[in-house]
Chains A and B, each alone.
Chain A
Amino acid sequence: MQPVGAVVPLRVDIAEKTFRSAQGVSITALQDLSFEVRQGEFACLLGPSGCGKTTTLRILLGLDKNFSGSFQLPEGGSNRIAAVFQEPILLPWRTVEQNVRLALPKSLRTKNLDGLFDTLGLAGMRSLYPAELSLGLARRAALARAFATEPAVLFLDEPFASLDERTAGRLRHLLLTVWSARPTTALMVTHNLREALMLSDRIIVLAQRPAHVLGMFDVKLPRQYRNPQVMSDLLRSFHQKFPGGA
């Protein structure tokens, strides 16, 4: 299928981002962080815990405007962005379906979501409240919300953290299924190298704080060929390129 929407790539050029603590101590979280994600590409931002990955994402989401530098979001088609956060962040007082529909622009509010809910295995749970869902199901609902908006760019912040490995694996497959149906420029933050190798076209490797780009690792192989054997080869070549990294 054709990549939809984005004509301009996602371009990030953050000169510096500093946090000031209550005691007046300043911590530089990001410095000279610049990279690009091509249109329709699934990229992973990989780095050690606490290196500033989530900070980068918050800047791109427009939630943190206190930084120096610039970035450009993909344009064309819809200019919408979508995000899957570390927690599902569903409104507990709205049903699964209402949560998804509320995120849609007015023109799409009544669109048919049967296919999406079916793919994600949520067909029977549209009228449940988030408190009635398990964490894994709540994360599926968060994925449904993100994809339903048909965004120009999709941001994912460790969406499979705090799940057991089997559930996380199943969710990764579901993510790939819905993403392949409509390849959207996507940037996912993770500290899990295997996850990055399995999902992405390109891995952007970040250094310890202050975060900057150590290098890129392109995974050219189509995802359906990434079996355990290939994965361990990929792992080996990754470690050769980034010894001691990530």
Chain B
Amino acid sequence: MSAPDTGDRPPGAVADISSQSSLATALTPVLTVAVSLLGLCLLWGLAENAWPSRAFPGPGQVWQVLLAEAANGDLFYHLGATLGRVAAAYVVAMVVGSVIGVLLGSHRSADRFFSPWVVLFLNIPALVVIVLAYIWFGLNEAAAIGAVAVNKIPNVVVTMREGARALDPSYAEMAAVYRFGLLDRVRHVLLPQLQPYLAAASRSGIALIWKIVLVVELLGRSNGVGFQIYLYFQLFDVAAILAYTLAFVAVMLVIELLLVQPVERHATRWRRRPA
């Protein structure tokens, strides 16, 4: 085809027609989520009335605890500690896992040799890794974060290995002919091709990591959401346990909405939008 191809599609006209309904279409998913969550709270409140017990506080009670903990600053201190560990473990796991995964995916003999190791590490229970890390390296921050990362790395390796196997060699050849530098190759050729796999590994990664971080904190740290949950477990304070859990889930939801999704939209902006 030739030059005037792009001229016959007036993008302005399309945008005008859709702008009236676009506000409504943008709000619908938000409304749906709000209504859905409200429904869950309502169901929870009904259940609490049907089975009144100290072990099953209602949403109002949990909210009171949440406000109290927020007011005295404990909530933010412990949320911050956990969030820091999640972030550190995530970065370590993604970087180490991606490098190993790409190497295994692009070298078949190495893959054949190390594949059993990956399976082995995939199947070691998180608890075992955490206990061993604390025994070998002491009850410190590095051991805690390292243990979480080691639990996640095999998952990242498996995903990124698939990504590396799916790399298109013609891009690498083009880069070789035009003598791209190493940095350009990684940034403009390798990473964009791995992006869907990175996104998949991140998604499943963050959810897994924060659950393991709680265990790590429960076993050997003196702050963080996991530590607080253990504390309130000993005090049999279910409302506080739920308050901390929900607060952290909310934080992760906000991260997903404000960080993960915009980054993903930016990374996939070049894809032709579905008609």
**How many Å lie between the Cα of A55 and that of B211 in the bound state?**
53
Selected from B177, B180, B195, the residue in CB contact (under 8 A) with A83 is B177
State which residues 135-187 of B face A: CB under 8 Å: 170-171, 173-174, 176-181, 184
A61, closest chain B residue (CB): B177
Q: A80-B179, A131-B270, A132-B6 are in contact. Are A89 and B174 (CB under 8 A)?
A: yes
Selected from B1, B181, B192, B272, the residue in CB contact (under 8 A) with A91 is B192
State which residues 46-82 of A face B: CB under 8 Å: 61-63, 80-82
Task: State which of A133-141, A190-198, A231-239 sits at the interface with chain B.
Answer: A133-141
**B265 contacts the other chain (Cβ, under 8 Å)?**
no
Which of B5, B178, B184 gathers the greatest number of chain A CB atoms within 10 Å?
Answer: B178
A187 CB, nearest partner CB in chain B, Å: 13
**How many Å lie between the Cα of A102 and that of B195 in the bound state?**
19
B196 CB, nearest partner CB in chain A, Å: 11
A162 CB, nearest partner CB in chain B, Å: 13
A80 CB, nearest partner CB in chain B, Å: 7
B residues less than 8 Å from A81 (CB atoms): 177
Across the interface, do B177 and A82 meet the contact criterion of CB distance under 8 Å?
Answer: yes
Selected from B2, B192, B272, the residue in CB contact (under 8 A) with A132 is B272
Interface size class of A (residues with CB under 8 A): 20 to 34
**How many Å lie between the Cα of A235 and that of B188 in the bound state?**
45
Across the interface, do A63 and B176 meet the contact criterion of CB distance under 8 Å?
Answer: yes
**How many Å lie between the Cα of A81 and that of B2 in the bound state?**
28
Across the interface, do A134 and B176 meet the contact criterion of CB distance under 8 Å?
Answer: no
**How many Å lie between the Cα of A124 and that of B179 in the bound state?**
28
**A221 contacts the other chain (Cβ, under 8 Å)?**
no
B residues less than 8 Å from A103 (CB atoms): 178, 180
Across the interface, do A93 and B173 meet the contact criterion of CB distance under 8 Å?
Answer: no
State which residues 4-29 of A face B: CB under 8 Å: none
Across the interface, do A136 and B1 meet the contact criterion of CB distance under 8 Å?
Answer: yes
A residues less than 8 Å from B171 (CB atoms): 89, 91
Selected from A105, A121, A132, A134, the residue in CB contact (under 8 A) with B179 is A105
**How many Å lie between the Cα of A93 and that of B189 in the bound state?**
9
Across the interface, do B170 and A93 meet the contact criterion of CB distance under 8 Å?
Answer: no
A183 CB, nearest partner CB in chain B, Å: 21
Q: A89-B171, A91-B171, A136-B1 are in contact. Are A128 and B177 (CB under 8 A)?
A: no
**How many Å lie between the Cα of A105 and that of B177 in the bound state?**
12
**How many Å lie between the Cα of A80 and that of B180 in the bound state?**
12
**B14 contacts the other chain (Cβ, under 8 Å)?**
no
A residues less than 8 Å from B6 (CB atoms): 124-125, 128, 132
A177 CB, nearest partner CB in chain B, Å: 15
The contact string, 1 if C-beta is below 8 Å from chain B, for chain A 129-168, is: 1011111110000000100010000000000000000010
**How many Å lie between the Cα of A106 and that of B3 in the bound state?**
30
A98, closest chain B residue (CB): B188
Of the A-B pairs whose beta carbons lie under 8 Å apart in the complex, a sample of 14, sorted by A's number, is A62-B177, A91-B188, A92-B192, A102-B184, A103-B178, A105-B179, A106-B181, A124-B3, A128-B6, A129-B272, A131-B271, A134-B1, A136-B2, A137-B1
12 further A-B pairs in the complex, CB-CB below 8 A; given A63-B177, A92-B271, A133-B5 = A82-B177, A85-B173, A92-B270, A93-B192, A93-B270, A103-B180, A121-B2, A131-B272, A136-B2, A137-B1, A137-B2, A137-B3
Binding site for A on B (CB under 8 A): 1-3, 5-6, 170-171, 173-174, 176-181, 184, 188-189, 192, 195, 270-272
Binding site for B on A (CB under 8 A): 61-63, 80-83, 85, 87, 89, 91-94, 102-103, 105-106, 121, 124-125, 128-129, 131-137, 145, 149, 167, 170
